[in-house]
């Protein structure tokens, strides 16, 4: 079993739709949860960063973490064609030598005008 599982999609939605992206994980030591956006042939760009369980909102983006279920989500409201990209979840145990990011495979999202 991989440490982080993410449905690779592809996911295609009409402009204005609410998008839900999800990851599950098996390592209960993960404390930091991130979502990155990666456009084609570019490096990942940090979108959201959450510590432990709970919700975090930033504009049209909401990140949710449920550590009891080992499940994290990213919601995109009023999706735009410019949101078309691959979305990667990433996790870290954090602190000291537990610094590395463990990524999911990424979900390819297309928002159609």
Partner 1 sequence: ETGVTQSPTHLIKTRGQQVTLRCSSQSGHNTVSWYQQALGQGPQFIFQYYREEENGRGNFPPRFSGLQFPNYSSELNVNALELDDSALYLCASSAGRVNFNVQQYFGPGTRLTVT
Note the residues at the interface with partner 1 (CB under 8 A): 4, 6, 8, 32, 34, 36, 41-46, 49, 88, 90, 92, 94-97, 99-106
Give the nearest distance from C-beta 44 to partner 1 in angstroms: 5
| Shorter beta-carbon distance to partner 1: residue 49 or 61 | 49
Give the nearest distance from C-beta 78 to partner 1 in angstroms: 25
| Shorter beta-carbon distance to partner 1: residue 17 or 70 | 70
CB-CB contact of 76 with 60 (8 Å): yes
| Shorter beta-carbon distance to partner 1: residue 4 or 111 | 4
The full DSSP string for 26-48 is --TT--EEEEEEE-TTS--EEEE
Give the nearest distance from C-beta 62 to partner 1 in angstroms: 19
**What HEC string does 68-102 produce?**
CCCEEEEEECCCCHHHCEEEEEEEECCCCCCCCCE
Picking from 49, 54, 88, the residue whose alpha carbon sits closest to that of residue 68 is: 54
């Amino acid at each position: 079993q991989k440490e982080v599982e993410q449905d690779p999609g592809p996911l295609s939605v009409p402009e204005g739709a609410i998008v839900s992206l999800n990851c599950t994980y098996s390592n209960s030591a993960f404390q930091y949860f991130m979502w990155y956006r990666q456009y084609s042939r570019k490096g990942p760009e940090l979108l959201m960063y959450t510590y432990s369980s709970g919700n975090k909102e930033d504009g049209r983006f909401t990140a949710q973490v449920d550590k009891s279920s080992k499940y994290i989500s990213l919601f995109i409201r009023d999706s735009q064609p410019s949101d078309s990209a691959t979305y990667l979840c990433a996790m870290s145990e954090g602190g000291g030598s537990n610094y590395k990011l463990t990524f999911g495979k990424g979900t390819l999202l297309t928002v159609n005008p």
